[in-house]
Amino acid sequence: MSTNDTKTVLIDRGPITTLTLNRPEKLNALNAQLLSELTEALVSLSTDRSLRAVIITGAGEKAFAAGADISAMSNLSPADARFFAGMGQRTLAMIEELPVPVIGAVNGFALGGGCELALACDFLYASENAKLGQPEVNLGVIPGFGGTQRLARRVGVGRARELCYTGDIIDAAEALRIGLVNAVFPLASLLEKARATAQKIADKGPLAVTQAKRAILRGADVPLPIANELEVQAFAGLFGSDDQREGMTAFLEKRKAVFRGS
């Protein structure tokens, strides 16, 4: 693995790549530069055929991302706000569209835009000190990076309404209870747990994992019969691949499969 140090995003490359939001002095608040660098990182990862999983986390022990940078937002015109929201929407959509699973390791505050970024990940692990929420109404605005939509899809419409209307910030235990995060760990072991799960995913058939991600993502917004047909097509399409033959042969021969992503 090698580390590419940029100003606001650190990239630890490998089959399991870790992206670290790196503005700890600002609690990793999202500004235009960070979003731009994150976009560049995601573009490079999207064509990396050796990639098996991505972990996104924040630098330091206080924050995943405490939100969008309010000092940079406070004087935006409506046109500027639309541009900034569009930038965030495009970046987060790229996280969802990566062909490999993305695990969010929420190490502290994930508020506003930070919570929205977390919601774009496939699933979330949180540290015990994590705090999550969409408190934008306290500033006289609403989420702009997809929070009203992804939050409802993650925890249900009723919970999303409550969090977006009240601006309440919830702790890790409550986030686990309502299904916003998948598991909660001590801060010191959070990345270790995320990497262990990423490695478990990396050991599976990469073509199958990609198709499972795609079927879940595409199927969420269409009627069930159409979603089921998407699944059938993805299932059938994997037959004849080297990975399918290796996986089933290894099972019958009672050995561990060695997948090559072809």
> Which residues are annotated as catalytic?
116, 136
- Strand order through the sheet with 123-127: 2-5, 9-13, 16-21, 53-58, 102-106, 123-127, 183-185
Torsion of Cα atoms, 228 then 154 then 12 then 184, to 10°: -120
DSSP line for 178-241? TTSSSEEE-GGGHHHHHHHHHHHHHTS-HHHHHHHHHHHHHHTTS-HHHHHHHHHHHHHHHTTS
Token pair of 99, please? 């062909």
